[in-house]
Structures are given as structure tokens and as C-alpha cells.
Structure 1
């Protein structure tokens, strides 16, 4: 009899887990796909052009986010950077934890900003999917990079901010068209 009572007590937690997982999947599924676009902005007094791409892929435990930025400088040089991060649901609805490191027990977890690594998380709020990266600089200040991707007809509106100690150092906006 005692095990039946304990079983009934566990039911609400099971329902919360199952329905939260379904809600998380619904957030990710709306944004899933590959998006490409171009941005133009001023950096260090120089006009720069970037080709941008973002791919959001649902997985069994969350999703993977990959993005590439190709910068074209006025002197003809180019710089390409690609990043891929896995995210898993956190205990808080609509918020995902990065899973960039594996601990000694095989559990995926975020990096440690106190070790000079970025602490990264993601959030879904309505039609906007945001990712945040927190860096602690060598002198103990902070830098945040924020990517806000809002669903629009045909793709995503991207707004990127790079902020150091409350000062916006860079802002880039672009439209990324959904491929396929």
C-alpha cells in the first residue's frame, strides 16, 4: 500500500517533466532550420560586411545551435568564425543550459566563466530565441554577447549586441532568410 501512495505522489512530477519536455520541443521546433543573410556595420571606423548563417537542430535532449560569420574587410582580408553549441533544458521553463563540457560522470554541463571560459545559455520568449554568452575578463570586468533571433515571415530578424561593463561596443542587425 505504501508503494502505491508513493507512486501517486510521484505522478505530478512525472506530468510536469513530460509536459515540460513537450513544451521545450515545441519552442525549438518553431525555430528549427538553416538561415542565411548579410549584415553591414561600422567597426573601428571602418565599414564591414558579413555573411551570416545560423542552423538550429532539435535533438533528443534539447537542440544544437551552429552559426558562422564571415567578415569582409575593406583591404580584401576575410575572417571566418564558426561556433557550435549543444543546449539542454534547464529546470526553468523556456531556458536552456549550454552543454559544452563533460564532467567526470559523463554529464554535459556549461563552461566556467571564472576559468576564462564563456558561460552560455539560451531562452525562448514568444517569437524570439535569445542566446547569451558571459565572459569574465582578466581584470575581472564582464563582457556579454547577446544574439536575439526573432521569427518573421521568411526567416529571422537578428540583433547582436556586444556589451562590456554596461557599454555597448557593437550592434549588428540583419535579416536571415530561411533556407529550403
Structure 2
């Protein structure tokens, strides 16, 4: 997978290999399935999943100038890392970004409600053997509490 775009740092080889292993549709199965779909894009990757509360997220990530850091883009616009129509979570929208390490891809989202309270989600996505993906969600709430949930997903399709 080529992770180079204009003014972007090349994706380290381990990051490209890890991303290649994530592509496809993953699910927890029944009764209340959590599904995450990873797809390759010309200059990065996209992830689609259902966030807590039932809203679907469809985020497109592009490499930034920092190796292993990816800017997120939705139909609302780019995250603050982008150059056109940035999303400002203090006004509206959710800020998304991702980073890769040798063993995981972390997807982050930051939203601010109309009272100024924030919710910060971190999804740690790790391959766990053939046909398995472990996803650990850590949600930081405005009262200082943290909610955590771990899911084991199985490969459900390309």
C-alpha cells in the first residue's frame, strides 16, 4: 500500500503491513453486532463503524507530514489537520484522526456538546491471529470518568 501524498511523510513499512492486514469487514456477530469495515484508498484508508449511541461513522484517513499520523475527513470536512474546510468541534462536528504503531492502529474522535462538555473516544485496533481483530474502546467523559469496552471481531468478508 502506498501511503505517500503531496507533502505527506511516507508510511513506515510496518504501518503499511499492519493496515494491509486490517482491510475487510469485521464483526462481533449476533445478537447486537459491532461491525468495522476497513478499505484501502488511493492515498490512505477509510474505516466505517457504528459508534456508541448508534450513529454510523464513515471516516477517510490521509497521511500527514508526521509519520504514522493520519488526518480524518468526513462529509463535513477535514479535521483540523487538513487544509480545506476544517471541522471545529467547538462549533459543530467531530474531529477524527488516527495513528499507527508497530502493533495497532488507533482511531480517535473528539466531540464537544452544546454545554462545552467533551467526549474523547479511542479505538485501539490490533490483529489477534488469523481471522481475528481485537478492538478496545476507551471513552473519556467530561466528568473525568473513563468507560472501556473490548470486542473480538471475526473476519466477515473482503
**TM-score interval (norm. to shorter):** 0.7 to 0.9
Residue 152 of structure 1: how far off its partner (Å): 0.4
Residue 62 of structure 1: how far off its partner (Å): 0.5
Instruction: Give the number of aligned pairs.
Output: 144
1:20 to 2:19 alignment: no
More helix per residue: 1
TM-score with structure 2 setting the length: 0.76
1:117 to 2:93 alignment: yes
TM-score with structure 1 setting the length: 0.67
1:156 to 2:133 alignment: yes
More strand per residue: 1
Q: Which residue of 2 aligns with 1:30?
A: 21
Instruction: Choose 1 or 2 for highest CA Rg.
Output: 1
List runs of 5+ in structure 1 lacking aligned partners.
Answer: 1-13, 40-48, 72-78
The verdict on how the C-alpha distance between 1:96 and 1:110 changes in structure 2, with shifts beyond 3 A counting, is farther
The verdict on how the C-alpha distance between 1:108 and 1:56 changes in structure 2, with shifts beyond 3 A counting, is farther
Cα deviation digits, residues 80-110 of structure 1 (max 9, x gap): 54221111101111111012216xxxx6565
* Over 3 Å off, 4+ runs: 21-27, 107-110
Higher relative contact order (CA 8 A, sep 6+): 2
Tell me, yes or no, if the aligned pair for 1:58 and 1:64 is still in contact at 8 Å.
yes
Cα deviation digits, residues 6-40 of structure 1 (max 9, x gap): xxxxxxxx9xx79714645444212211111058x
